Every structure is written in structure tokens, then in C-alpha cells.
Amino acid sequence: MLTEKDYCDYDTCVALKELGYPLTSKEVRYEDKAVFVPGVLLYSAQKWLREEKKIVVLVGFDFCPITSEIVYNWVIVVNGNTAKKSSYTYDYFEEALSKGIKEAVKILKENETIHK
């Protein structure tokens, strides 16, 4: 079952569209009115970045001995090389993926020729 955690936030959707992502809108109900908002699944953004922009966003996990729980982090790979790693760990896979996608978008916006 999909929840809002499975989607990119509004700012990321707008940035993806600016980079060429084929953005569509989804209808949501707000105060009994239909409102159309951009809806990009994290997986779809991850796949598009990988296939179209040649930027791979990976999510890894580790065991946190302090809390005895699994934590997640992200890594961005460009042209087979690690471009950036998260310096923070996240409690949820989707949160780490979302942050990794945001960082990949930021990298692309700073240097749109990075994938060539």
C-alpha cells in the first residue's frame, strides 16, 4: 500500500520536471475539492535518474548498536564512481531514498552535463 512516504516531495517533483522528468499530476482531495499535485514515486525517480541521467542512487543499511535497530543511508554513483555519501543515517528506507534523490537532483542542477 502506497503512502505519502513513497512519493517525492513537491520541491523535488518540480526540480525533476525542470531536469526533464515526464511529470504527471495525481488528483487528491483537499477540503472536499479535487486538487492536482505532482506525484512522482521514489522508485520512478530513482529509475529515471539511473536510466536517463546515469546517476545511481543506492540505499544501504547498517546495524546501529546503540539502538539495536537497522538504519539506512544513501550513496550516489556517477560514471561508476561514488560521487557523494550520506553523512547521516535514517530510520526508514524511504526517507534515505528521498534524501538521496534530492541530493542527486542537486548535483544535476549544479552540473547538468555530469551524465555525459
Write down the mean pLDDT value for the chain.
86
Q: Look up the pTM and report it.
A: 0.83
Domains and CATH numbers, the chain: 4-110 (3.30.160)
**Per-residue 3-state assignment (H helix, E strand, C coil) for 52-99:** HCCEEEEEEEEEECCCCEEEEEEEEEECCEEEEECCCCECCHHHHHHH
Separation of alpha carbons 39 and 37, rounded Å? 6
Predicted confidence band at 31 (pLDDT cuts at 50, 70, 90)?
Answer: low
* Alpha-carbon span 32 to 84, nearest angstrom: 43
Quote the pLDDT of residue 23. Answer: 78
| In the predicted structure, residue 27 carries a pLDDT above the cut 80 | no
Q: List, for residues 53-72, the tens digit of each pLDDT value.
A: 999 999 999 998 888 899 99
